[in-house]
Structures are given as C-alpha cells and as structure tokens.
Amino acid sequence: MKGRSVIVAVALAILGLGAAASPANAITTDFDFGRLSKQVEQYSLVMEMKLELSFGMQTTEQEITLLATVVSKDGLVVFDGTTLDLSDPFNTFSSFSIKSTPTRIEFKTLDGSTTYEGEYIGNDRYTKIGMARIVDSTGTEFPYCKFSNKASLSTGDWVALYYLLPEFVSPRVGADIGMVSTVIEMPEKFPMIVGFGPHELVSVLFDQNLNPLGVLGMLPDPASGSADGSMRSFGGDDFPIMGLIGADKIAQLVADPPVKGQIVRGWLGITLQALTRDIQEFFNIEAGGGIIVNEVMTGSPADVAGLKVGDILIDVNGQAIEVDTEEKLPVFQRRISEMGPDTPVEFTVIRTGDDLVDTTNVTAILGKAPIAATDAEEYENDKLEIKVRDLVFTDYMLYNVEPEEFSGVVVSELEPGGLANIGGLRIGDVVQRIGASEVNSVDEAKVALEALLEKDPSEVVFFVWRNNKTMFVNVKTE
C-alpha cells in the first residue's frame, strides 16, 4: 500500500461532546501504510489451528485461521486465544467438562511461500493472549516484532493495525485505524480504543510514528467476573471494552510464557467479603475499603501466616485495598493471583473483638492456586467409553467435603450410547471403588479397571457417590 492520508469523520457522541461531527470537523490522520505493510509482513504469519472441542459426552473438531505475530527470534508467537479460554465459572466449579484442545498448528508466511509446523504452549488467563512456538530444527532466527515501551497513548490519539482477511482474497491482510476514546484508570490503566472489532484481537497496534505499542486486547470486567471484557450498555446489549495491551505485558509473557496445566497463579486460601460502608460504620472503622476474612482454609498460606476468621485486611504491601462493594472483590482476587506463588505479601490487618479494635501486620507467602478441573490428570477407557479425572479443590468446595475425608475420581466424559453411559454412570459421579479395589486417583482407577477387564467379566461394578449419597452401578461389558 502507498502512504496516504486517511480522512475519518468521527461522531462527537463517541467523545461525549454531543451531536455528530460535520464534514468541517473531520479529523485527519497520517499513517505511512506502504512502509507499515512492509514492516508487518516481516513478522506476521497466518496460523491454521485444528481444535478438538469436548462438551461432556460430545466431541467435535473445528478449524480456525488467525493472524499471528512472531515475538522472539526463536519463533515464539502470539495470537488471539479467546477460542481456547476455559475460565467459564460453570466449567470451573462443575464436573461437566468443557475443553478446547489444539491438536495441530501450522504457520504460513503471508505470501504462502513458507510453511512451519507449530506447537501450542498456553493461554494467558487474563489477557486471553495465546502463545505457540514455531517448531524448527535448523536453529533459524526469525524476524520478530520489537515492541516499544517508551510511547504512551492519550485520549484522541490514533492507532493502526493489520488484520486477517478471508482466504479467497489476496492480499490476506487489510489495514484499519482506531482512536483512543479514554484512558481507563480502574480497575487498571487501560487505553480504550474505538473503531476495531473482535476479529482484530491480538493484532499489533501502531502509533502514527509506526512504533508497535502492543496488541489489541479486551479489558475483563472484574465486577461480573466476565472473561470477555463485556460491559452492559443502555440498550441491554454487551459490547467489548477494547484497547492496548502494552509492551511491558508482552515482554512478561515472552520471558515466562503461560504453559497449559502449569500453575502460575498466587493463592491465599480464604473466602472473603467486601468491607462495605455499613460494616465500616458498625465497627467504627475509617477506610477506603477492605477484605473481611470469612473462612481460612486449613493448611493454606493464610492459615500458616496466622490470619483468622473476622480479620479485616485494609492494605496489601502498603497499598490500600479499595474494595467497598461485593462487585469489586474480583479486583483483589486478581491482584493476589497475578503476584504468583512463593511471593511474600504483607497485609495490614484490623482485628475486632470484645469492643476492642487492634491493628497488626501479617506476612503470608502465597501458594500455588489449586489446579482447575480442566487441567487435572485423566484416564480414558476405550472399551467402556468413559473418561475420569482426579478430584480438584473446587470439587471439595462444590460437594462441601474435606479432602482428608473424601476420595475418588470424577466421571468427566461419557460417550453417548457407550457401555458406561448405558450402564447408568453419569458425568459428575465420583467413583470411589471399582470392583473390590478402592480408587483414590486416575492411576488407581486405570490399574483396577484394566485388571478387571483382562478377566473378560460380563459386568463391572462401580461404587459411586452421587447427589450426597453412595450407590452401586453395574456396567455390562457387552
């Protein structure tokens, strides 16, 4: 593309200034798209990914095509990972298994002249940036995008990006521009940009000097626990809060990529509620907000540190905890999570009791967040067409049982019409015994079941826990 001026008439309503702009108020932006396109071509790839999608008893395959960006000389690549996001609360706290697993990745240069095999690494929990790597045994050093962390964006600034076009057109990428409508300060600093769509996520954003500032991302709404960055509009529809994920965050991901199944989130081990204005008045406390400890998990970092039920946390590492409504709780939870395991955290704690209010400091060493159900160890038996997984922390919370007193494996997938399904097993059943063998893990389930099936029995008896009661389920082998 040749360099050119792009004339864009902007509705003043976007800026909160009233009526739509007239032609006299048109805003001119200058991007040298000819130079920019050559820059983008060096480190942009077309990524073709095959996914296996599992929904409990249903499994299907899907192929998606994305624009990816090389971010390191050894072939580390970032892409839009929202398709791989598994953070839905129902999925986290339910035995029902929802999975999206990459089974094949291939990268192609924009002109289609070179193809590379790829491997999936992981997905960032908050930004939904996916990461993969070019599999190259020759030790090639790849051209990569060098993001600038010196430039900053202000309201009214213009940015540009390239996004992927359908396969039947050539060239494969097109240019687009957007404008910073505001710089959000809470729950985190985030330059919000209008003019782009979800199909352009994780495209590289450039300022008018053609500096790559970061990538287009979405701001999660901590009040709703939403992972998709949605905000409720006056008309009742959701729209994404899109903007810049900057160079510093990209550098963190490149230095320490998220790995599927690897726990990198910090964990304190409490249940909590917000220090609301009413509670502050009741205890005669003056604070911008805080966290009330409702429960301390036995053996958790909070327990080891000496936190107690009823403690009120009012700051973390010297910074005030401004949580005065329940909707703001996820802001604190994310803050703890992003600190990571083995991080020392100092809390200022208010303790109340016997009409006395005492203030003390407590230091906790964060632990690893409990593994999610989707990352738990699994075992699949092809004959009975059943898949089971290990129990995880959220199962104990869901069933309101103690790990020391409750064991087994969870039925995570069943083939419709399969022997286990016909025999009466259900997704979510906790298998505690197979035949005469007690089962505490998927390894024990595998040994017990395969030993039984070697004897070619007419049926296998499962002892399961379902809906707060135990029962026997007889599964016929034919």
Q: How far separated are the first and last CA of the chain, in Å rounded?
A: 65
**Co-location of 386 and 299 in the same domain:** no
Opening angle at CA 190, ends 99 and 243, nearest 5: 65
The number of domains in the chain is: 3
**Co-location of 358 and 383 in the same domain:** no
**Co-location of 360 and 383 in the same domain:** no
Query: What is the average per-residue pLDDT within 419-431?
Result: 94
> Whole-angstrom Cα distance, residue 127 to residue 130?
9
**Co-location of 50 and 145 in the same domain:** yes
Residue 153: DSSP 8-state: -
> Whole-angstrom Cα distance, residue 293 to residue 330?
15
Q: What count of Cα atoms within 13 Å lies in the side-chain half-sphere of residue 414?
A: 19
Query: What is the average per-residue pLDDT within 79-91?
Result: 67
In which element (H, E) is residue 54 found? Answer: strand 44-55
In the prediction, which pLDDT does 355 show? 63
**Co-location of 9 and 54 in the same domain:** yes
Residue 185: DSSP 8-state: -
Confidence of residue 22 (pLDDT cuts 50, 70, 90): very low
Residue type, 444: E
**Residue 204 CB neighbour total at 10 angstroms:** 25
Which of 216-230, 235-249, 330-344 has maximum average pLDDT?
A: 330-344
**Residue 465 CB neighbour total at 10 angstroms:** 19
Alpha helices, H only, 114-226:
none
**Co-location of 150 and 187 in the same domain:** yes
268-325 pLDDT, tens digit each:
999 899 999 999 988 888 888 999 999 898 889 999 999 999 999 999 999 999 899 8
Share above pLDDT 90 across residues of the chain, in percent, rounded to a whole number: 54
- Tokens matching residue 301: 């970092």
Is the pLDDT confidence value at 97 over 80? no
Q: Across all residues in the chain, what is the average pLDDT?
A: 84
190-229 pLDDT, tens digit each:
999 999 999 999 999 999 999 999 999 998 655 444 333 3
**Co-location of 345 and 297 in the same domain:** yes
Residue type, 268: L
Lowest mean pLDDT among 395-409, 427-441, 451-465: 395-409
What's the domain range around 276? 266-368
In the prediction, which pLDDT does 316 show? 94
Choose one of 368, 388, 414: the last residue of a domain: 368
Query: What is the sign of the dihedral through the CA atoms of 276, 282, 286 and 290?
Result: negative
339's CB contacts (< 8 A; 6+ apart) are: 266, 345, 366
Residue type, 373: A
